[in-house]
Structures are given as structure tokens and as C-alpha cells.
Amino acid sequence: MKSSLALKSYGRHTKLVRKFLCAVLCALTVICVVSVQGQDVPSVTREYYPQVISHQLQRIAESSAAEVLPLQDICLAILDDLHTIVANLEHNPMKPCHELQRLEESLLVWEAHRESWTPTVSHHHDDCSYVPTITALEEISLALQRRIYIWKSLLNAEYAEASPIVTLYEKSFADIIRLKERTLAVEQYFTKSPRRVAEYQAGLSWCDYLETQSWITELEACQQPAGQQIRRVSLPSTPAIPVEILKTFGNRANTTVYRLESPTLTGEQRRFLNHPVVKTWKEELESWRVDTVTPINILGHVEQYETTGGMSDMKALSRFIDQLSLSKTAEYRQLGANVRLQYGMANTRLFLSNALLNNHLPPQEAEIASFRDVILSQPTVGRRQTETDYKITFVPHPTRVLTSLDVEVDLATVSRSDAFATQLFNTGRTRVEATKTIEFTEKGFIAEPCKAQIVAHRMKLVRINTEFDSMPLVSGLFRNAVLNQYESRAAEARTETQRKILRQVRSQVDREIEKRLKPLNERLRTLSQYADEDFGLHVEKRESRTDENWLLSAWGICGKDTLTSHTPPPETLPGSFADLKIHESLPNILLGKLEFEGMRGTVGEFKTMLAEKLKQPGLASPDENDHVDVTFAPYNPMVVRFVDGHIELTISIAALRLLGKTHRDFQAIVRYKPAYDEEGRLVLERDSYISLINVREQFVMRTVFGKIFPVSRPFPLVPNVLENESQYDYLTVGNCRIEKGWFALALVQKGNE
């Protein structure tokens, strides 16, 4: 018995020793490899290193698939360059210029491989036989280009002589009192001096713009307690004012001085701010300005945001960019502007074809009506037949969405003019061409006044009746006199007739277009107001252009502490009538504005809140799991990613109470993909498998989330208008693309999905 126990114990000890030796050998191997490959390269802080790119390159480098062999050497070279560059950026910023140049050369080789990349096997998910798609290679290329751009900007900032925060340690309570007094003087200048109400309101607007009241409140909160002796704090001593407060004032001073020097100020506004009181305040603020951020920390925020894509990391990166952009050092400001440029592209793009608009212009029937007018002081009555043809053309422009409504009017008239003892019967035919330019802007559709010209005009006198027709001799003389007078005034009558026709056509076109654009602009204003009031979002134009066949309107829909897209969208495929593209940053911004961070409630309560916020009553439909109590994680509670042909929703839960048991700190990942339902309509259906991370009772939790996100309830992608109105019978949605962080959906002809 003892011997058997001893043998078992010996076996266990042997296994432990073997595992320990294996671990030691692995560690020694890694140390040897690192020491051989990069003896002079220090270690890299993980948060600064592009982990996502590295993982993708590592998968290719370690794949056994024959097709990736041409890529493996370049992958290893890029990996080596990445490690060296980031390490030197952190420890020796003066050094990585050579490696950056080498990485750019490697990127050119990578691009050559990408352009000729035509894999003959399908994409494999296992690392052993991984074959990347053309999209995966493009994503790596774009990510490397972004990093190179940011790293170069960072090097420029690292070379700069910044104003360190240590200078703030010399501030004392006396400085705070002086800054408060000068801020009060500025506020009084804005609000006390004006005598008219309009000037007072303008002064209040300046106070809001420069946040003088907020300055005063914070300075008063930090003011020296009564009876305490004012003294200046030297650097070696413990500062009497907390460092965090000093940093806050330093950041605020950066912001205020930036607003005082804003390039958007007009000449009149600059003269108004040139008052001695404001200038003295600005000089005081300049002494508080410092650089409170370390530029290299931008790398950590960039990598964290690109790894998760969540709103929490978006806010952190956006706030850091703002601090850089308002910094005292010009190179820091340039770094912030460059990073903002990379992560501030349009997140919503719409391509619209000329053919689609012309296909759905309302049909125009010939209009027959009576008219009464006065031509050359002669009453004229008659009937007219008007035939109108509309056509939309795109006005090519590199930065504006310009369209032209071209109108052709064919007017045929039969009229009678009454003069002294005479009736003149005329026929006329007039063709008018009119154009009305319409521009689409952030504020809606703006239409210019209609322009019109007559391209053909013909009038013919067909009969003359007089009261003397029964008197042969007198009739001939009278008719000749009337005819001579008619011919002498024909040119004048033609001019007046044309002028009236042009005025009538312009008025009619302006009135018709105004009637159609007004509800569209009202709808846009309502949508903009809804986005602003309910989500704190606004629309910024990023890109607009028109050519002969297509228009592009691209916007950045964003709010405070948000970013937009950082990748180019998928191409618009041939055969599309329209193409809408949305970047994953937009749904993440919307989710972030719901403020789920750390929120607690039942599933039913959250569904009701979503239904009210998104104005989608169907989301609040009752379900058996509505009673489940949920507390969302305080960090990135919900994240949406558009990747690999799927929409991936990651839900982070801090606590979920079910059947008397609380499950803590886990994630559920739900994936949706485009598919066709039984009736052939495009929908988003849930993948059958829901991923649960850090969950022990997989079966129970999978059942719960399976009922919250049922497979049987796909999301339709075909708008109701395409199914309910006959004029759209030939159209449907198709060409769905989910890649590079974008979701793209096109309007196509049925049968071309």
C-alpha cells in the first residue's frame, strides 16, 4: 500500500518536475531568441504595440498553407520593424527614423503582393492552414499606413521643446486670486458695460463661449482658506495646491487661449476682444498654459481603441486628442490634429445614381386650361395646352452635391383678342427650357431661383372678324388698316407674350419644387433635432461631389468625445442604383449615448428604454426573460464590430441574476450575417452559435441569450416602401458587404442581388 502511494507520489512529482523543466527551457529559448535577434532593442510596453496587426501577421507567418509562402518573409520583416520602432519610440525617440523608412519599403513590397493576390482556396479559420483574403491584406496595409503616419507625427512632437507641467508647481494661492480677479473683470466687461439688451445678450454669449463663470466657480473653490498666509510653493516643497487641480487649470487655460485666438473669429470679433481687460486676462492665462499630456501615450489609446472599437475607448482617445490639440506646444497640437484627421473621416456615405432619380420623377400629363390676359392693353382670352417634361442632371463639382432640374415646356395656345370693332384669332406654339439648381447641404436642400429661356416661339394670325364685314367696301379698307396695325405691333406683342410666358414658367417651377422640397427639409430638420436632443449628435459634412452619373454625400455623425471612421469604405459595385455605407463607429456612438455603463435593470426595462429612445415600439415586445436582472459592465458594455462578413455584438455583463444565482463578469458575443428568408428577401439572421466568455454554466446562459436574440427573428433589410409601392417593383436591396469596419447595402434591380 505504501509502495503504491509512493509510486503515485513519485509520478506526480515527476510530472511537476517535467512541466517545470519545460517551462524553464521555453523561457530560456525565448530569452536566447530575443538576445540574438535584437540585442540593442529594449523591451516594448504592451499598450504601445500594435497587437492586432501583429496577430494578423503572425497568423500568416506561421501558416503551413503553400499559398502564403511568398508573404511569410515580408511578414517577419514587418514584425521585426514594428517591435524595433515601438521600442525606440518609447526609449529612444531619436532613433526609429531608419526603421520607419525600412517599414515603408516593406509596405511597398506588401502592396505588390496584395495587388496580385488571388488565393485559390477558401479562407481558413485555423492558424495552421490560414489563407488571408484580399480584404484581410488590405486591412493590414491600411493599419500600417495609419501607424506610420501617427508615428511620424509623434516623432515630430517628441523633438519639440515642450512646456512641462513642473512649471505649474510654482503657482500659489496668490496666483489663483489674481487669475480670479482678472476673470471677474472680463465678465464685468462683457455684461456690465453694454446698455442695450442686444449688447447684454451678446456679452452673455461671450461669457458662455469663454466659460468665465465656470472659471470663477473653480477658482473660488480652490481659493486660499481665510487667515492662511499666502506663500509661494517651491519645487522641493510639498505643493499647497494639489497637482490635479493645477493640471485642470492648465488644461482650461489651453482651451480658453485657443478660443481667444480661434481662426474662425471675424475681424470685428477680434477687435472686440482686443480690449485691455481681455488682453490682461489672456496674458495671465498664458502663464498657466502647460503641456499636461505625454505624446507617446497616444499610442496606447490608439491601440486600445482599434482593438475593441468600444465607446469607452473612443472617448478616451478623443479626449486625449483634444488635450493634444489644445496644448501649448505647436508640435503637440499638430500631433493631435493629425490623429484626429486619421480618425475623423465620414462614417456615413451615400452614393446615388442619376438613373434612379430620373426613373422616379412623377409622370406629367398634358394640362388643358382656359386663360384670360391683357396683351398690349388688349383683352385676350383663349385655351392653352401645356406639356411638361422633367429631367434631373448632375452638375459635376468636386466638393458640392449639385443637381439641376431641367424642364422642357411645350405650350400651344388658341386665343382671341378684342379691339375696337375687331376680333383677332391667333394660334401660338412656344417651347421653353428652364433649369433650377438644387444643392444638398447639412441644412437640407437649397434651391436657386429658376432660370428659363424661350428656344422657339411662333404666333400666327388665323382670322380677323370686324363689325364692318357686311359692308364690302368699308370692310376691305378697315381690315387692311387692322392688319397693318397688327403687323406693326407684332414684334412688341411677341416680346410681351414671351415675357409673360417666362414669368409664368419660372413661377410654376419654383412653386412646384418648393412644394416638394419643403416636406423633405422638414423631415431632415426633425431628424437632426431628434439626433441632437436625444443623442447629443450633430452632422458634419466630410465629403461631397457630383459627376455626370453619380453623387456622393458623406457625413460625420458625431458628438462630444466621439470619433468617426478611420478606414475607407467598400467600393460601390456595378449595377447599383444607390449605395448606403455605415461605419461601425456610428452604432457604437449611438450605444454609447444610451449610457449603459454600470447601469442596472431588468431585460424588459432595457427593451422599453431602447424602444422609446430609438422610437421603435416593436423592440419592447414582451418576452419570458424580461424579468432577468442585469448590471452592465462599467467599461464598453456594448460594442458593435463589422468584420469578416458579420455584424458582431459584444455585451459585457458585470452581474446577471437568474434563478436565484448571480453570474458575474462575463461576455456574450452575438453574430449576425446577411441571408435570404423563405420569400427571397434579404435579412440579417443570427448565427446559430452564441459565444460566452468566462461563463461556467454554458447551457443555461446560452438558452437565456438564445431567447433574447432568437434565430427565428431576423432583421429585414428590405424597406417597406419597396414592397408596398408599385413604382419600386423592379428594385430591391442587395450587394451587402461587411468589411473593414463598414456595413454597405445597395439598391439594385431584382435579379441582380
3-state secondary structure 599-652: CEEEHHHHHHHHHHHHCCHHHHCCCCCCCCEEEECCCCCEEEEEECCEEEEEEE
Nearest to 155 by CA among 80, 76, 216, 101: 101
pLDDT at residue number 587: 94
Helix (H, G, I), strand (E, B) or coil at 489: coil
* Nearest-angstrom CA–CA distance, 565 and 585: 6
pLDDT at residue number 195: 58
* Nearest-angstrom CA–CA distance, 74 and 57: 9
Nearest to 462 by CA among 421, 415, 412, 411: 415
Nearest to 50 by CA among 85, 25, 16, 26: 85
pLDDT at residue number 546: 94
Strand order, beta sheet including 550-559: 537-546, 550-559, 348-353, 576-583, 742-749, 731-739
* Nearest-angstrom CA–CA distance, 753 and 749: 7
7: its cell numbers? 509510486
Q: What are phi and psi of 218, to 5 degrees?
A: -70, -35
Q: Specify the amino acid at residue 223.
A: Q
Give the bridge partners for 456, in sequence order.
431
325: its cell numbers? 490639440
* Nearest-angstrom CA–CA distance, 320 and 548: 42
Could you tell me if 651 and 671 are in contact, meaning their C-beta atoms sit under 8 angstroms apart? no
Q: Specify the amino acid at residue 521.
A: N
pLDDT at residue number 25: 34
The neighbour count for residue 146, using CB atoms within 10 Å, is 19
726: its cell numbers? 408599385
315: its cell numbers? 472617448
**Helix H segments across 275-426?**
276-286, 297-308, 311-325, 330-342, 354-359
**Helix H segments across 92-117?**
97-115
Q: What are phi and psi of 193, to 5 degrees?
A: -70, -45
**Helix H segments across 568-686?**
585-593, 603-614
Helix (H, G, I), strand (E, B) or coil at 738: strand
Domain ranges of the chain: 1-39, 165-290, 365-524, 587-749
* Nearest-angstrom CA–CA distance, 198 and 195: 9
* Nearest-angstrom CA–CA distance, 694 and 692: 7
* Nearest-angstrom CA–CA distance, 705 and 688: 11
Helix (H, G, I), strand (E, B) or coil at 450: coil
* Nearest-angstrom CA–CA distance, 736 and 734: 5
Element (H, E) at 675: strand 661-676
Burial 651-669, CB ≥16 within 10 A → b, else e: bbbbebbbeeeebeebbbb
pLDDT at residue number 753: 64
pLDDT at residue number 125: 56
Residue 4 contacts by C-beta under 8 Å, 6 or more apart in sequence? none
Nearest to 246 by CA among 166, 145, 151: 166
* Nearest-angstrom CA–CA distance, 183 and 283: 12
* Nearest-angstrom CA–CA distance, 260 and 254: 10
* Nearest-angstrom CA–CA distance, 387 and 409: 6
The label of the residue with cell 435579412 reads 683
Helix (H, G, I), strand (E, B) or coil at 321: helix
Is the pTM higher than 0.75? The answer reads yes
Nearest to 448 by CA among 460, 439, 461: 439
Low-confidence residues in the chain, pLDDT < 50: 1-40, 226-239
Nearest to 630 by CA among 654, 597, 659, 666: 654
DSSP 150-200: HHHHHHHHHHS----GGGGGG--HHHHHHHHHHHHHHHHHHHTS--SHHHH
DSSP class of residue 41 equals P
* Nearest-angstrom CA–CA distance, 334 and 153: 8
Helix (H, G, I), strand (E, B) or coil at 372: strand
537: its cell numbers? 449628435
Interhelix angle for 51-62 vs 134-159, to 10°? 140
| Strand 661-676 with 691-693, pairing | antiparallel
Nearest to 113 by CA among 126, 132, 99: 132
pLDDT at residue number 197: 67
Helix (H, G, I), strand (E, B) or coil at 732: strand
The neighbour count for residue 527, using CB atoms within 10 Å, is 11
pLDDT at residue number 5: 33
The label of the residue with cell 404666333 reads 459
* Nearest-angstrom CA–CA distance, 23 and 211: 60
Nearest to 486 by CA among 370, 411, 383, 375: 375
Nearest to 701 by CA among 711, 688, 690: 690
What digits encode the pLDDT tens for the residues 312-342? 999 999 999 999 998 888 899 999 999 999 9
* Nearest-angstrom CA–CA distance, 437 and 748: 27
711: its cell numbers? 434565430
Burial group, residue 386, by CB count within 10 angstroms (0-12, 13-18, 19+): buried
* Nearest-angstrom CA–CA distance, 253 and 179: 11
